């Protein structure tokens, strides 16, 4: 089967072919016709199987096939026709890039809005008219509060990585956004790991949806070779450096449990003459973008990340993922190692496990229904007399700072935050706001802001 048999327009097929794709994946073969039919959809598939194209391609076809020109209302902002919600900035930017690339031969406008960058350029783009809006929930509600987005004409709503949004505690924001949308619309809900939360959300949101699951729930891809190295906690850094050097790993994504742990590991690897940078919630958007760009183009050997990168990080043929710390939430393991072995390519996922993490490992193996092979390397094996210690908390709930921001936003006394002239000038050369008009490769405005 080819993309041309799925009912997509010639302009979209041309763009897809130029990106090197000729045959749709299993999720694409099933989801694209379902979306084109106009009904609601609940779709689940492993990470790296092409879920983004599963909704962007038919969405672009639907919008370009109907004559619904953008018209300003009394607010001065034309209505949005399609809204795509994502849990993280990185995923929002990635989805926007896909929308632009697949729709570059169509007369449709799109923009990604997320925190960490100035809201002012986003306002200007929204005032000029946008067909497709990709957004994180927090920044979208910033625009709602300031009256700079018009959601009255949304025809299609997409919740991408809905399971991650629920894990991050965005259910309150999602409900508020849903209350602002027209009741008559198409709803598309995509997830990678199934849970009771997803089931509950789907029950309240979707109307007689088609349901697609192209693989058993909460399983890892067969293209990823998984392995556990048993090691004492205080030898993890030395073992990681040993593996990178001895096995000549040239591109490695390493996950830590905490932000402080990520920064500390970067410092230690740098001392070992291994080039590394970190991305996490305390890093500015410009720093995160810089690190990701270097890692993607191959000029950075090691990218150390917290689970913020477990979704939205799409790197072609990424060969190695390392769990320096096992995650507290078993499902996060699936998302982490899903950064490798994507689109049918082979990948390797290695976990460095100390005695204190044996229960976390057991929880992961129970979720994925398989026992991971163990291995010890001479000189790095665990001391049999080492006693387990309490695990330092990682991601379990939404960070306090995020909760406080959402609380402040919903308070009647809260007011729109304003960036100072000084900060605007200082950040004028930083951070891309992801807006492009199909067929126009004009660079986006760059600003920064202090809030998410």
6-44 residue pLDDT tens: 999 999 999 999 998 889 999 999 999 999 999 999 998
pLDDT tier, 69 (very low <50, low <70, confident <90, very high otherwise)? low
pLDDT at site 34: 96
pLDDT above 60 for 278: yes
Under the banding of pLDDT at 50, 70 and 90, the label for residue 153 is very high
216 pLDDT more than 70: no
Q: What is the pLDDT of residue 243?
A: 96
What gap in Å lies between CA 227 and CA 344, rounded to an integer? 19
Q: What is the pLDDT of residue 158?
A: 97
Query: Contact, 125 vs 435, CB < 8 A?
Result: yes
pLDDT of residue 411: 43
Average pLDDT over residues 267-271: 96
Question: For residue 158, what are the contacts with CB-CB under 8 A and spacing of at least 6?
Answer: 55, 59, 82, 83, 84, 85, 188, 189, 190
Can you read off the two tokens belonging to residue 177? 């956004």
Burial of 52 (0-12, 13-18, 19+ CB in 10 A): buried
Q: For residues 193-215, give the mean pLDDT.
A: 86
254-258, 279-283, 416-420, 447-451, range with the lowest pLDDT: 447-451
Give the pLDDT score at 223.
Answer: 84
Mean pLDDT of 185-208: 88
Q: Are 224 and 373 in contact (CB under 8 A)?
A: no
Contacts with 430 (C-beta within 8 Å, 6 or more apart), sequence order:
117, 284, 285, 286, 446, 447, 448
Q: DSSP letter at 432?
A: B
Place of tokens 């809201």: 119
Report whether 53 contacts 26 (CB < 8 A).
no
328 contacts 393 by C-beta, under 8 angstroms: yes
Average pLDDT score over residue span 301-329: 85
In this prediction, residue 371 carries a pLDDT of 95
Residue with tokens 């997320």: 114
Greatest Cα-to-Cα distance within the chain, rounded to the nearest angstrom: 72
List the 210-213 sheet strands across, edge first.
Answer: 210-213, 41-44, 186-191, 156-159, 82-85, 132-135, 109-113, 435-437
Q: Mean pLDDT across the stretch 99-108?
A: 96
Kindly state the average pLDDT of the residues 407-429. 41
Q: What is the mean pLDDT of residues 87-99?
A: 92
Where is pLDDT greater, at 316 or 123?
123
Question: Strand ranges (DSSP E) for 38-185?
Answer: 41-44, 82-85, 109-113, 132-135, 156-159
276/271 Cα distance (integer angstroms): 10
CA-nearest of 393, 445, 399 to 88 is 399
Q: What is the pLDDT of residue 71?
A: 58
For residues 118-131, average pLDDT: 94
Q: Quick one: pLDDT at residue 165?
A: 87
The whole-number pLDDT of residue 289 equals 87
Q: Tell me which residue of 15, 62, 14 sits closest to 35, measured CA to CA.
A: 62
**What confidence category does residue 436 fall into, taking pLDDT thresholds of 50, 70 and 90?**
very low
More confident residue, 308 or 359: 359
Of 52-56, 316-320, 385-389, 427-431, which has the strongest mean pLDDT? Answer: 52-56
Is pLDDT above 70 for 441? Answer: no
**Rounded to two decimals, what is the model's pTM?**
0.70
DSSP calls for 87-130? SSHHHHHHHHHHHHHHTTTSS-EEEEE-TTS-SHHHHHHHHH--
Q: Mean pLDDT lowest for which of 10-14, 63-67, 126-130, 291-295?
A: 63-67
* Spatial distance between the Cα atoms of 317 and 17, rounded to a whole number of angstroms: 19
Indicate if the pLDDT at residue 439 is higher than 80.
no
Contact in structure between 265 and 256 (CB atoms under 8 Å): yes
Please report which residue ranges of 206-329 form alpha helices under DSSP H: 236-246, 259-271, 285-296
- CA dihedral 56→153→39→45, nearest 10 degrees, is 40
- Pick the range with the lowest mean pLDDT from 247-256, 275-284, 318-327: 275-284
Tell me the pLDDT band of 445, cut-offs 50, 70 and 90: very low
Tell me what pLDDT residue 328 has: 92
What the chain holds in terms of domains, given with CATH numbers, is: 3-217+418-437 (3.40.50.300), 224-375 (3.40.50.300)
Range among 210-214, 338-342, 444-448 with highest mean pLDDT value: 210-214
Could you tell me how many residues make up the chain?
A: 452
Of 188-197, 298-307, 321-330, the one with minimum mean pLDDT is: 188-197
Mean pLDDT, rounded, of the chain: 84
């Amino acid at each position: 089967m080819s993309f041309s048999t799925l009912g997509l327009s010639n302009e979209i097929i041309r763009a897809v072919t130029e990106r090197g794709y000729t045959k749709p994946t299993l999720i694409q073969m099933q989801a694209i016709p379902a979306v084109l039919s106009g009904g609601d959809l609940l779709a689940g598939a492993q990470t790296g199987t092409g879920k983004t194209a599963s909704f962007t391609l038919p969405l672009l076809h639907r919008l370009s096939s109907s004559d619904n020109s953008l018209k300003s209302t009394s607010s001065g902002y034309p209505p949005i026709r399609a809204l795509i919600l994502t849990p993280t900035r990185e995923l929002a930017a990635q989805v926007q890039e896909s929308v632009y690339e697949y729709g570059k031969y169509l007369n449709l406008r799109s923009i990604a809005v997320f925190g960490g960058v100035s809201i002012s350029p986003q306002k200007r783009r929204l005032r000029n008219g946008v067909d497709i809006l990709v957004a994180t929930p927090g920044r979208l509600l910033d625009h709602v509060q300031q009256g700079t987005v018009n959601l009255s004409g949304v025809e299609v709503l997409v919740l991408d990585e809905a399971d991650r949004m629920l894990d991050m505690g965005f259910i309150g924001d999602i409900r508020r956004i849903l209350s602002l949308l027209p009741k008559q619309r198409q709803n598309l809900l995509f997830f990678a790991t199934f849970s009771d939360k997803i089931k509950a959300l789907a029950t309240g949101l979707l109307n007689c949806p088609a349901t697609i699951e192209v693989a058993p729930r909460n399983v890892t891809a067969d293209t990823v070779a998984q392995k556990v190295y048993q090691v004492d906690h205080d030898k993890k850094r030395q073992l990681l450096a040993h593996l990178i050097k001895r096995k000549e790993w040239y591109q490695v994504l390493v996950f830590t449990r905490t932000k402080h742990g990520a920064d500390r590991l970067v410092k230690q690897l740098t001392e070992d003459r291994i080039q590394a940078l970190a991305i996490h919630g305390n890093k500015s958007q410009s720093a995160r973008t810089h690190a990701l760009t270097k890692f993607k183009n191959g000029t950075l050997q090691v990218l150390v990340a917290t689970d913020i990168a477990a979704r939205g990080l799409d790197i072609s043929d990424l060969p190695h993922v390392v769990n320096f710390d096992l995650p507290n939430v078993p499902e996060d393991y699936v998302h982490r190692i899903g950064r490798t072995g994507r689109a049918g390519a082979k990948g390797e996922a290695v976990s460095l496990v100390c005695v204190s993490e044996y229960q976390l490992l057991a929880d992961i193996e129970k979720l994925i229904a398989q026992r991971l092979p163990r291995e010890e390397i001479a000189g790095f094996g665990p001391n049999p007399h080492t006693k387990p210690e309490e695990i330092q908390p990682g991601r379990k709930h939404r960070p306090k700072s995020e909760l406080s921001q959402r609380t402040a936003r919903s308070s009647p006394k809260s007011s729109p935050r304003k960036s100072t002239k000084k900060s605007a000038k200082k950040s004028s050369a930083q951070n891309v706001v992801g807006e492009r008009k199909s067929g126009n490769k004009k660079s986006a405005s760059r600003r920064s802001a202090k809030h998410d």
